[in-house]
Amino acid sequence: MADTHENAYDEFAEAYAAMNETGSWNAHYERPATLALAGEVAGLRVLDAGCGPGILTQELTRRGATVTGVDASEQMLGLARRRLGGSATFARADLGKPLPFADASFDLVTASLVMHYIEDWSVPLGEFRRVLTRDGRLVFSTHHPTMDFHISGADDYFATYQFDDEWFHGDIVMKMRFWHRPLRAMTRALGEAGFGIDVIDEPDPEESVRESEPRAWESLSTKPAFLFFRAFPRYSA
């Protein structure tokens, strides 16, 4: 998770981890799409930025990557360390600040559902480019701007603004704060940070959701929830 100060992930880390591990939006929609864009990761050095409880980190390591996960929440990092044991490295980091890694330290950066917590994308994107190798790539997912525009109730899609939402998990109410930005702001930020965009994707949920969770299928197959990017560092000839 990003260090937003408004979203108290330390208070509901366990509930979030359970929701992320099995819920259709994560397990059968976001994570498969992120892994598909990441492609073959065996032998790669991967930075999992905003790793949360380490669920994506675990899958990347299972596929043969050497993974370093960073997150702003100590509680989330504790869950990630418990999940992975010694098979991945973890450190606390605020994605709004410089990362504690040398230039060209990673072949792949993943950032799963974390960018919508961050007001200014210039720092994290600039840092992702810095720590990537020349042939590296960035794969990230974020809230789809049309979803956030609808949830926020705002009247200006093209503005960048903060808004609040609530998530429910059993008896737990998670009060959340996000940043909406239009697609053009996302693509411009990537370009200004020195990235070329390879893929912008609006995937379908996995077919299994149709039977296992029909309401989720109806929602995710007709209204996009997340937007996915694959980008690469751009260099002058």
User: If DSSP states are collapsed to H, E and C, what string results for the chain?
Assistant: CCCCCCCCHHHCHHHHHHHHHHCHHHHHHHHHHHHHHHCCCCCCEEEEECCCCCHHHHHHHHCCCEEEEEECCHHHHHHHHHHHCCCCEEEECCCCCCCCCCCCCEEEEEEECCHHHCCCCHHHHHHHHHHEEEEEEEEEEEECHHHHHHHHCCCCCCCCEEEEEEEEECCEEEEEEEEECCHHHHHHHHHHCCEEEEEEECCCCCCCHHHHCHHHHHHHCCCCCEEEEEEEECCCC
Position 176 scores a pLDDT of 79
Position 19 scores a pLDDT of 74
In a domain, 3, yes or no: no
Position 170 scores a pLDDT of 65
* Band of pLDDT at residue 2, cut at 50, 70 and 90: very low
Position 169 scores a pLDDT of 61
Mean pLDDT (whole number) for 52-78: 96
Position 11 scores a pLDDT of 62
In a domain, 221, yes or no: yes
Position 4 scores a pLDDT of 37
Position 214 scores a pLDDT of 94
In a domain, 1, yes or no: no
In a domain, 2, yes or no: no
In a domain, 129, yes or no: yes
What's the pLDDT tens digit per position in 156-199?
Answer: 999 999 998 876 666 767 777 899 999 999 999 999 999 999 99
CATH code at 22? 3.40.50.150
Does position 9 have pLDDT exceeding 80, yes or no? Answer: no
Mean pLDDT (whole number) for 102-117: 97
Does position 86 have pLDDT exceeding 50, yes or no? Answer: yes
In a domain, 108, yes or no: yes
In a domain, 175, yes or no: yes
Domain count across the chain:
1
Does position 120 have pLDDT exceeding 70, yes or no? Answer: yes
In a domain, 125, yes or no: yes
What's the pLDDT tens digit per position in 131-150?
Answer: 999 999 999 999 999 999 99
Position 94 scores a pLDDT of 95
Range of the domain at 211: 9-233
Does position 130 have pLDDT exceeding 60, yes or no? Answer: yes
